[in-house]
Amino acid sequence: MSEMLSVDPYVFLAIIGMAFVTILTRVSGFVLARSFAIEGRTKAALEAVPGSVLIAIIVPTVFATGPAETIASLITLILASRLPFIFAVFGGVGSVVVLRILLAG
């Protein structure tokens, strides 16, 4: 039990470090936006970032894992553009399970 509840100091340090930089990013945008007018070309650059980051995170799974993941990603996108969020997520997850079975057999 004590083993389950223990906290390794290095793990704790990693968690604190991650928490610190995460809070830093979440607060600094507010501070920046209050100090500078973000407009024009800067705004256009910043507006492209959230989507670009999300894409960069998932693109290896989407295109470099296998056909099941690529097709399921397409299905998720189509569902998300037509149905509420949760249907897209569970539809996507369900389709990857089915596609893996179909494509493996």
Partner 1 sequence: MTGSKLSQYGSSGNQFYLGAATSLPITLSIFAVGMVVGVLAAEKGLTFTETFLFSALVFAGSAQFIALEMWGTPLAISVIVFTTLIVNLRHILMSAAITPAIYHWPKQYSFIALLFLADEIWAVALTRAQRTELRPSFYFGIALPFYLTWITSTLTGHAIGRSIGDPAQFGADFAFTAVFLALLVGLWNGRSSVLPWITAALTALAVDTTWHGPWPILVGALSGAIVGASQYGFLKAKYAAVSEDIASDQESS
- CB contact at 8 A, 92 and 79: yes
C-alpha 88 chain-centroid distance: 15
What DSSP element (H or E) covers 77?
helix 67-82
Minimum CB separation of residue 24 from partner 1 in Å reads 8
Among 67, 89, 102, 103, binds partner 1 (CB under 8 A): 89
What residues between 49 and 88 interact with partner 1 by CB under 8 A? 49-64, 69, 72-73, 76-77, 79-81, 84-86, 88
Minimum CB separation of residue 67 from partner 1 in Å reads 13
Length of the chain: 105
